[in-house]
Amino acid sequence: MTQPKKSRATIPKDIAADSLYSSDRTCCVCNEPGKPIQIHHIDENPAHNSIENLAVLCLLCHEQTQISGGFGRKLDCHQVVRYRDAWLDRVSKRRDQADQQAIQFLNKIHHEGSTPRLPIPLNDYVALLPSLLERAYQNAQQGWGSGVTSEMLNASYEAIAALEGMLTYLAGFYPKGHFDERNPRNYISEIISSRFIWHKHVAEPGGGGTGGTMIGPLVSARVIHDIELMVENLVLALSGEFNECFEKSLDWKANWDRASICFKAGGERNDAKLLHAPGETSPIYEKPSYWVISEDKKDGPFCQRCYDTDQKLIRLQGGSNDKWLCHACKSYFYGPNHQPPQRKVISNGWKAWT
What is the pLDDT at residue 38?
A: 93
CB 118 within 8 A of CB 91: no
6 part of a folded domain:
no
In a shared domain, residues 295 and 247:
no
Alpha helices (H) in 204-245, listed in sequence order: 215-238, 240-244
In a shared domain, residues 260 and 292:
no
Tens digit of pLDDT for each residue in 251-298?
A: 788 888 888 875 554 433 333 333 333 344 568 888 888 888 776 678
What pTM was estimated for this model as a whole? 0.65
Instruction: Determine the Cα–Cα distance for residues 205 and 163; give it in Å rounded to an integer.
Output: 28
In a shared domain, residues 20 and 68:
yes
275 part of a folded domain:
yes
105 part of a folded domain:
no
In a shared domain, residues 279 and 249:
no
For residue 49, give every residue at least 6 positions away whose Cβ sits within 8 Å of its Cβ, in sequence order, or none. 9, 10, 11, 12, 15, 41
In a shared domain, residues 123 and 255:
yes
In a shared domain, residues 129 and 191:
yes
The single-letter DSSP state of residue 319 is -
What is the pLDDT at residue 26?
A: 93
85 part of a folded domain:
no
CB 344 within 8 A of CB 330: no
In a shared domain, residues 278 and 345:
yes
221 part of a folded domain:
yes
Tens digit of pLDDT for each residue in 292-312?
A: 877 667 888 888 888 887 777
Mean pLDDT, 10 residues at a time, the chain of 354 residues: 63 91 92 90 90 93 78 80 94 85 66 54 85 88 81 90 92 90 90 92 82 81 92 85 54 82 47 35 80 78 83 77 76 79 54 48
Q: What percent of the chain has pLDDT over 70?
A: 78
Q: In terms of residue numbers, what domain contains 33?
A: 13-77
In a shared domain, residues 216 and 242:
yes
For residue 132, give every residue at least 6 positions away whose Cβ sits within 8 Å of its Cβ, in sequence order, or none. 102, 105, 162, 166
20 part of a folded domain:
yes
Last residue of a domain, one of 264, 292, 323: 264
What is the pLDDT at residue 187?
A: 92
142 part of a folded domain:
yes
